[in-house]
Amino acid sequence: MEKVAVVTGSAKGLGRAIAIALSKQGYTLVICYNKSRQEAIKVLDEVKLKSGRSIAVPADLKDEAQVGRMFKEIFKSFRRIDLLVNNVGNFLYKKFSETTAEEFRNIIESNLYSSFYCCRAVLPVMRKQKSGQIINIGAVGAERVNLLEKSTPYFFAKTGVYLLTKIMAFEEARYAIRINMVSPGSLSTDIFKDSDFPTGRSATYEDVVKVLLFLISPDAYYINGGNIEVAGGFIPGLGKSK
């Protein structure tokens, strides 16, 4: 049976790495992007080497109407969705006192609202199937309150995603739907230095992908509502270079 995976923000970065890895696992991919069309087409060409029916679909996931149209198109094309990876989410490193209302809204909506909208759109399909998985991409420390001067809105949003993961896992378990979260430490493209990490390096895309692949494997059949940090012991606010 064809397995269909939807990966948001998969034109670049971690999303791209996840999409390529899933294509090698036999999934047909839906590459979701907003403005990065050229990059999305390149990823699509790569995943089609393994999964020829894969497609790319544009949408601004901060807009609930666009999310609804996107999933309607996906379901029309494939009739099922087996995996949703909520990866999209902007990051802002700026003093809170200097953060504009528009910037605050963008961080909350791109991280929290986008995950909420996509989950709400896909869950009716998964309930009918009586199967499906959702993986939300969080951030190290998302399960606790983090008050960081230059990234308060981001952690506010990711903690929201953590709570969203927990309540949905509880409610949807009766339909054999599993919902988990993977929370990376700062990735190589972020603002930290290798010396800021206990292990001497940041997390890599490969580190995160390996955990995601475990969570969607049969071996993780009883993990639901979980949050796995991929951070090598890194704790936000500790060890940061001045």
Count of CB atoms situated within 10 Å of the CB of 155: 22
Q: How confident is the model at residue 197 (pLDDT cuts 50, 70, 90)?
A: confident
The SS3 call for residue 193 is coil
Q: How is residue 201 annotated by DSSP?
A: S
Length of the chain: 242
Q: How confident is the model at residue 190 (pLDDT cuts 50, 70, 90)?
A: low
Of the two residues 165 and 144, the one the predictor is more confident about is 165
pLDDT-above-90 percentage for the chain:
81
The answer on pLDDT for 19 being more than 90 is yes
Mean pLDDT of 97-101: 94
Spatial contact of 179 and 118, defined as CB atoms under 8 Å apart = no
How high is the mean pLDDT of the chain?
93
At 77, give phi and psi (nearest 5°). -75, -40
pLDDT recorded at residue 239? 65
The answer on pLDDT for 138 being more than 90 is yes
pLDDT recorded at residue 242? 44
The pTM (predicted TM-score) of the whole model is 0.94
Mean pLDDT of 207-232: 96
The catalytic residue among 33, 113, 117, 154 is 154
pLDDT recorded at residue 98? 94
Q: Where are the domains of the chain?
A: 3-230
**The token pair that represents 13 in the structure block:** 């970065």
CATH of domain 3-230: 3.40.50.720
- What sign does the CA torsion over 162, 155, 111, 113 have? positive
- Lowest mean pLDDT, pick from 97-101, 131-135, 139-143, 180-184: 139-143
Of the two residues 21 and 188, the one the predictor is more confident about is 21
Q: How many helices (H) and strands (E) does the chain have?
A: 7, 7
pLDDT digits (tens, 9 = 90+) for 37-82: 999 999 999 999 999 999 999 999 999 999 999 999 999 999 999 9
Q: How confident is the model at residue 146 (pLDDT cuts 50, 70, 90)?
A: confident
Catalytic residue list contains 154 = yes
C-alpha distances out from residue 237 to 67, 230, 242, Å: 35, 16, 11
At 8, give phi and psi (nearest 5°). -80, 150
pLDDT digits (tens, 9 = 90+) for 150-181: 889 999 999 999 999 999 999 999 999 999 99
